[in-house]
Chain A
Amino acid sequence: MTFLKKLLLATATTALLAASPGFASAADLLAIITPSHDNPFFKSEAEGAKARAEALGYETIVLVHDDDANKQNELIDTAIARGAKAIILDNAGSDASVAAVQKAKDAKIPSFLIDREINATGIAVSQIVSNNYQGATLGAEFFVEQMGEKGTYVELVGREADINAGIRSKGYHDVIDQYPDMKMVSRQSANWSQTEAFAKMQSILQANPDIKGVISGNDTMAMGAWAALKAANRTDVILVGFDGSNDVRDSISEGGIKGTVLQPAYRQAEMAVEQADKYLKTGSTGVEEKQLMDCVLITADNAKKLETFAMKE
């Protein structure tokens, strides 16, 4: 065998090794892109993904798009430019994100979506989302029970561009509207924001001083509403949130907010990374693209078991 032939063979073997899916180099990079970490839910998600990725031997870059589709687009470009092997994404809007995920796919980078669906299949490899509808019906059933199936109430809705705001609201109403004595007096968006919910709740209370309940599309808005209710000496108002944050857990334990619905955010992010790892190594995740995870109702009965978007065994 000539030297040249040996060299060619060696090169070919190396190339094969590098290309074979089982070959994971220490430099393999996972990009983790979520909305702003100001909301502990997204922070927990990013932390869950990062910890699992590093445990599996990946390097990570953690980026936030602040629910801005243009910024998300730039971050996808960054991930492509940095040579990321896969993207873990909680997207910035179910329609606006289709093109961004497609762009990553065109660059041969698989995306694994968490928390929010996009309105398309076959572009992302996995879409692991909480069953927001199921969770919302759990919250609404509990809310109706606490209200004694009757009375005036207010609904705080999340950001309108976010599909989960609509899904949760629909879940709430599909349950509550079946009770003719439940009467909604106001329904407003507070854009998932605690400060905005505080201000909205104050003005709603001025217009409707005798409301009996508030159902909120997430926990940060619930915390804002609760602060306004406290300031108005209306801690008798029945308030239910959504997400399962530690803040709301503590309020439930103190007899404040009545309940919330846990989305298993931390586990969801870990699962996305596990599926990305399996996909990179074997070319398949072995599961369906769209996967729904059930949510869990949190009340005074089980609040103690809740810690950072996960239930302790």
Chain B
Amino acid sequence: MTIKVNVLVAVSVAVVVLGVSGCKIKKNEAASAKASGQLEIFFDSSDFNAEKVVADIWTPKVEPFMRDKANRFAEVQSALAKDARSAGPQYGYSENPAQNPYSFIVRLDGQVVDSNTKSRAAYIAVDTNGDGKSDAKVQLGPVIRGTALRDVLPFIPFSAFKNQIEYANVGRALNAHVYEAKLSKLDRDNLVGKHVSVTGAFVAPSAGAEILIAPSDVTIAGGQP
């Protein structure tokens, strides 16, 4: 009996593993380009696995944190427009405000008014207040710019890591994880006009610049598989 159960478990695990690898989308990293005069001076340490760190905390910590701490986009947007200096501490988080800008967790609903899915850094532009104009760009990857998802999480401080590279790798791993887990599954065709719901993070934009959101979750009405 016990043996049978174990076999069953083993078989189903194998099926799950096979299933996952079978439908795996092409990973978001090109083979490292070899060229003349190639230098090997990267500082990756093999004993630190950022992907595992992220995989371990994503469901139990990151997702609930993003859900619980998200402010309404319109509220943060208008606070930033009114007084960016005080909007930071009120709605955002910065590990060290003297040296790093504030980042914000928001949730927004709206209509896609523009999209660029030709670029590797694909995005949709979303109108959240019904005036037909874009209020924020939401990144769809596979290339996700910046490290906003990392920077809004107080439980991933720079001081917990040995150096910049490990800290950077965690930022990249968060972006890669959200692409693999969510964004790669979205239907990318004919997005303009569709309704979207987004939870995500952004770094305070410099004056006049657009808001660029790194999502932790995106739902496209009628666009889900």
Contact = CB atoms under 8 A, between A and B. Distances in A.
B28 A291 contact: no
B101 A166 contact: no
A242 to B, nearest CB: 14
Contacts of B119: 149
Contacts of A61: none
A90 interface: no
A216 to B, nearest CB: 14
B29 interface: yes
B146 interface: yes
Contact of B32 (A173, A175, A188): A173
A290 B145 contact: no
| A contacts with B: majority SS | mixed
Contacts of B101: 294
B30 A167 contact: no
Contacts of A180: 30
A177 B41 contact: no
Interface in B57-108: 96, 98-101
Interface residues of A, number: 47
Interface string A285-304: 00111111110000000100
Interface residues of B, number: 36
Given A163-B43, A186-B35, A187-B35, A178 B165 contact: no
A183 B165 CA distance: 24
A-B pairs, top 8 by smallest CB distance, nearest first, are: A188-B37, A133-B168, A166-B41, A184-B33, A293-B99, A184-B35, A178-B143, A177-B30
A250 interface: no
Nearest to A178: B143
A286 to B, nearest CB: 11
B3 interface: no
B30 A179 contact: yes
Contact of B39 (A157, A163, A174, A290): A157
